């Protein structure tokens, strides 16, 4: 077994989307944990192979690199236009442009939510989520792990540790029953001698065992009860099919690379056109030299035919090739739900909404909304485990009195919406309806409770200043009136 399977460059995906791993609905005990893990690992290994292929593809290791030409093999341009990387980077930066944010849905819980966000900042949650989204969009699956704090004696502290891990080294097993609840979380590492150490979490137990290379016995190293019944290893997916974002267009990406490479070959072959010599008498030394330079010599049966020297060449219709290349690129972006401003002309009469509709931003938003819903579903499990750790009274920490329902998980992304219009809407609504509804309907705020609290404090401070100023004016007027009466 290998920690990071590395199939050859000709490896073909045999399964679209990563397989969800199931087990029978039976109790997991020390007696059967090794059998369950080693059996489910076989399915995980296939998933890991697929993820490795997609990850290498993202890095530019694509099938065009293995192209072989039988005609004029010395002219062979194997060019990678890494659109897969372009797609993944756009998706990650679009959905996670401002980071995942926790907001309070209850004004009484603002202080607790702010403390939770501070703990998340200590654990670099923004960076962890960015890595997680990268794995989700490349391989279709990402994995996050939370554990109790392992205090090392330096830096700021939080009651928990949080990690995004390589999905090729961790997976979740689900029970084959209604609702498909998670039954087992598995994380493994490979030692220098190829021994694998498996860390396994069930709802009520933690197991750790070693699997040596070959047919060695899987020895149990640790068996401990767990009291937090949430499995701390959670899978995140990009879509219901558990596919990477460019997985559905792999054939088109390969075709795009092939067309680009062939266009390069055509240009090079035009420059290096073959020289045709008919009925020309050459010495052996001349023949050898010209053959190396790309000469073809042949004789005509008719001896009275005159000698002829010419280049053999055929120009590629670059306009047709460019049209086909643009069509493939546009199709790729349409399928993956990515905007394409480059292939559409603009007009000074276009409205902002027309540009958005025509260029595919609504499609991009729709795909992002789908990914967000699946992300939030998994994030709630992680959040519940974190809150369980934060509720405990531990040395150096104040307990946090929150439940998952007290928190809104938001992923703000509005790159094309007009904030000036929203501010105008908010200003109008504040003059006609209560502030909470105004913030809600204007859609300008991610954390309504925090913004509303700051707005109310600002209004109160402003009114206090106005009241103090008015009192000062009244006093001055009273003094003037008193002086006038005395006079």
pLDDT digits (tens, 9 = 90+) for 118-127: 999 999 999 9
Residue 343 reports pLDDT greater than 80 = no
Average pLDDT over residues 267-275: 54
The string over 355-368, giving b where at least 16 C-beta atoms fall within 10 Å of a residue's C-beta and e elsewhere, is bbebbbbebbbebb
Tell me what the mean pLDDT of segment 25-39 comes to: 94
**Dihedrals φ, ψ of 57, to 5°?**
-60, -45
Answer with the residue of higher pLDDT: 70 or 342. 70
Band (pLDDT 50/70/90 cuts) for residue 411 is: confident
Percent residues over pLDDT 90 in the chain: 38
More confident: 55 or 227: 55
Given a contact cutoff of 8 angstroms between Cβ atoms, the answer to whether 166 and 172 are in contact is: no
What is the per-residue burial (b if ≥16 Cβ within 10 Å, else e) of 392-423?
eeeeebeebebeeebbbbbbebeeeeeeeeee
Q: 293, exposed or middle or buried, with CB in 10 Å at 0-12, 13-18, 19+?
A: exposed
pLDDT digits (tens, 9 = 90+) for 346-356: 554 454 455 55
Q: What's the pLDDT band for 150 if we cut at 50, 70, 90?
A: confident
pLDDT for res 278: 53
Closest to 166 measured CA to CA, from 194, 193, 199, 188: 188
- Amino acid 153: pLDDT: 59
pLDDT at site 305? 55
- The number of beta carbons lying within 10 Å of the beta carbon of residue 180 is 11
Cα–chain-centroid distance for residue 38? 29
Structure confidence at residue 285 (pLDDT): 60
User: Is it the case that residue 181 has pLDDT exceeding 70?
Assistant: yes
CA dihedral in degrees (112, 118, 119, 123; nearest 10)? 160
What is the predicted pLDDT for the residue at 290? Answer: 56
**For 113-139, what is the mean pLDDT?**
92
Return the closest-CA partner of residue 168 out of 26, 23, 5.
Answer: 5
Contact in structure between 160 and 116 (CB atoms under 8 Å): no
Q: Helix or strand or coil: residue 81? A: coil
What's the rounded Cα separation, in Å, for the pair 368 and 362? 10
Least confident of 68-82, 126-140, 259-273, 384-398: 259-273
Evaluated on CA atoms 251, 256, 257, 263, the torsion sign reads positive
> Which one of 150-154, 174-178, 257-261 scores highest in mean pLDDT?
174-178
Residue 279 in tokens: 């009925």
Top pLDDT among 329 and 151 is at: 329
CA 372 to each of CA 27, 79, 330, 387, 449: distance values in angstroms, whole numbers, following the listed order: 33, 35, 25, 21, 21
Assess contact for 61 and 11: CB atoms under 8 A: no
Q: Which tokens go with 8?
A: 């050859």
Alpha helices, DSSP H, located in 83-184: 83-95, 110-122, 125-139
Give mean pLDDT, residues 251-279: 70
- Residue 34 phi/psi, 5-degree rounding, is -65, -40
Q: Tell which residue, 486, 13, 480, 6, has the closest CA to residue 241.
A: 13
Mean pLDDT of 17-27: 94
Query: How far is the C-alpha of 217 from the C-alpha of 233, rounded, in Å?
Result: 26
What is the rounded CA–CA span in Å between residue 365 and residue 19? 27
Dihedral sign of CA atoms 437, 438, 441, 446 in order = negative
Look at residue 321 and tell me whether its pLDDT is greater than 80: no
Size (the chain), residues: 487
pLDDT for 8 equals 45
């Amino acid at each position: 077994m290998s920690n990071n399977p590395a199939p050859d460059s000709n490896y073909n995906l045999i399964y679209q989307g990563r397989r969800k791993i199931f087990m029978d609905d039976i109790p997991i005990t020390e007696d059967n944990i090794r059998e369950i893990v080693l059996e489910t690992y076989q399915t995980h290994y296939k998933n890991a192979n697929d993820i490795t292929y997609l990850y290498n593809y993202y890095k530019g290791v694509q099938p065009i690199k293995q192209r072989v030409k039988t005609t004029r093999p010395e002219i062979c341009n194997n060019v990678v236009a890494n659109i897969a990387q372009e797609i993944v980077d756009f998706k990650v930066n679009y959905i996670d442009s401002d980071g995942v944010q926790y907001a309070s849905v209850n004004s009484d819980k603002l202080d607790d939510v702010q403390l939770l966000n501070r703990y998340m900042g200590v654990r670099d949650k923004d960076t962890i989520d960015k890595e997680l989204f990268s794995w989700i969009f490349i391989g279709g699956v990402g994995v996050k792990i939370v554990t109790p704090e392992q205090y090392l004696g330096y830096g700021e502290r939080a009651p928990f540790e949080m990690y995004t891990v390589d999905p090729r080294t961790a997976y979740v097993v689900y029970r084959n029953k209604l609702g498909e609840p998670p039954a087992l979380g598995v994380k493994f590492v490979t030692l220098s001698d190829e021994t694998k150490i498996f860390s396994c979490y069930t709802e009520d137990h933690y197991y750790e065992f070693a699997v040596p290379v070959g047919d060695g016995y899987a020895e149990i190293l640790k068996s401990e009860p767990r009291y937090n019944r949430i499995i701390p290893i959670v899978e995140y997916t990009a879509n219901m099919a558990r596919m990477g974002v460019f997985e559905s267009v792999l054939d088109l990406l390969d075709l795009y690379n092939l067309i680009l490479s062939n266009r390069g070959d055509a240009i090079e072959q035009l420059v290096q056109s073959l020289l045709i010599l008919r009925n020309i008498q050459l010495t052996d030394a001349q023949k050898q030299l010209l053959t190396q330079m790309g000469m073809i010599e042949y004789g005509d049966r008719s001896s009275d035919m005159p000698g002829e020297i010419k280049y053999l060449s055929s120009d590629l219709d670059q306009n047709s090739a460019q049209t086909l290349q643009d069509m493939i690129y546009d199709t790729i972006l349409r399928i993956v739900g990515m905007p394409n401003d480059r292939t559409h002309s603009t007009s000074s009469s276009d409205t902002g909404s027309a540009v958005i509709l025509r260029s595919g931003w609504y499609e991009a938003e729709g795909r992002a909304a789908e990914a967000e819903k699946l992300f939030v579903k998994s994030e709630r499990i992680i959040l519940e485990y974190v809150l369980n750790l934060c509720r405990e009274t531990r040395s150096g920490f104040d307990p946090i009195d929150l439940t998952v329902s007290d928190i809104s998980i938001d992923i703000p992304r509005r790159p094309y919406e007009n904030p000036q219009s929203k501010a105008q809407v908010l200003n109008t609504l504040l003059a006609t309806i209560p502030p909470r509804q105004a913030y809600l309907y204007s859609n300008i705020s991610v954390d309504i409770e925090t913004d509303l609290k700051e707005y109310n404090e600002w209004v109160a401070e402003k009114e206090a200043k106005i009241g103090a100023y008015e009192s000062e004016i009244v006093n001055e007027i009273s003094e003037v009136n008193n002086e006038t009466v005395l006079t």
